[in-house]
Structure 1
Amino acid sequence: MENVVLIIHLLLALGLIAVVLMQRSEGGGLGMGGGGGAVSGRAAATALGKLTWLLGAAFIVTSITLTVLVAQKSSGASVIDRLGVTPPAASDTTVPSGDLLLPPSADDNAPLVPLAD
């Protein structure tokens, strides 16, 4: 089911790109100029304009459908669980005393030895 919706989604995306590129340019940046379009109260509803709205609406519907399908498929499982990787076990290393955390001084030539607590 997911693959069918994905293929339809990709075909809608390609169709939407093609229809938008076939439309007549009204000149100017961001639809400014040309006398109509975004400036006028109601733009002329051409066949390509209607097809653009139809393909755009279908594209949004398939996007939401894919999101719902993937969310249902992955609910209740984390990415780590699906990979099958077990987290590393906690090691039994003890925290060294405060003296080992300090940098050696210039007159210390002897190696660091942990002090008994």
Structure 2
Amino acid sequence: MSLFIFLTVVQAIVAALLVVVILMQKSEGGGLGVGGSPAGFMSARGAADFMTRLTTILATAFVVLSVVLAALAVGTTSSRKIDTSLERTAPIQNAPAADPLAPAQGGQPAQAPAAAPAPQQAPANDPLKGAAGQ
């Protein structure tokens, strides 16, 4: 497990470096390119080649670390067993439903409610239907 955490930290560092290196590159649109004089340690072209190589190396390291971390994650979770001790069983379909009106303690069960009366029809001069009941 400590290897997984170590590689996750390395992955985060590589990702941060990759973002920084990409943002430092000079793009055709201006970007966040690093300016410098040609008399410096590297020429402008040499710096561009170095940044391109560094981007390629960091991107490859990021992808490789992603694959390794995914393989480690599968390896650590595949040995675990799902705990079914709290599994609930579905109610049986043919079992009679409990009467919600039954008293909580002994005695006579409550009577079932009477059937609901049929809805009344609206009178002929219902204001919602019009004066003539149309």
TM category (shorter chain) comes to 0.5 to 0.7
Residues 1:92 and 2:92 are matched in the alignment = yes
Q: Which has the higher Rg, Structure 1 or Structure 2?
A: 2
**Further displaced range: 45-54 or 13-22:** 45-54
Mean Cα deviation higher: 87-96 or 10-19: 87-96
> Cα offset for 1:92?
3.0
Tell me the residue number matched to 1:110: 115
Identical counterparts, % of pairs: 30
Q: One-letter code of the match for 1:22?
A: M
Match of 2:61, SS state, is helix
Cα distance, 1:7–1:85 mapped onto 2, change above 3 Å = farther
How far off is 1:94 after superposition?
1.9
Which TM-score applies when normalising by structure 1?
0.58
Root-mean-square deviation (Å):
2.8
- 2:26 is paired with a residue whose SS is coil
Deviates more, 1:13-22 or 1:45-54: 45-54
Q: Unaligned regions of 5+ residues in structure 2, if any?
A: 31-45, 97-113, 117-134
Of the two structures, which has the highest relative contact order with CA contacts closer than 8 Å and spacing of 6 or more?
A: 1
Q: How far apart are the structure 2 equivalents of 1:77 and 1:90?
A: 26
Q: May I ask how many residue pairs the two structures share in their alignment?
A: 81
Larger relative helix fraction = 1
Counterparts of 2:85 and 2:58, CA distance in 1: 42
Q: Which amino acid aligns with 2:72?
A: L
Q: 1:73 and 2:76 equivalent?
A: yes
Aligned amino acid, residue 88 of structure 1: R
| Aligned positions of 1:1-117 closer than 5 A | 1-27=3-29, 46-75=49-78, 77=80, 81=82, 86-94=86-94, 110=115
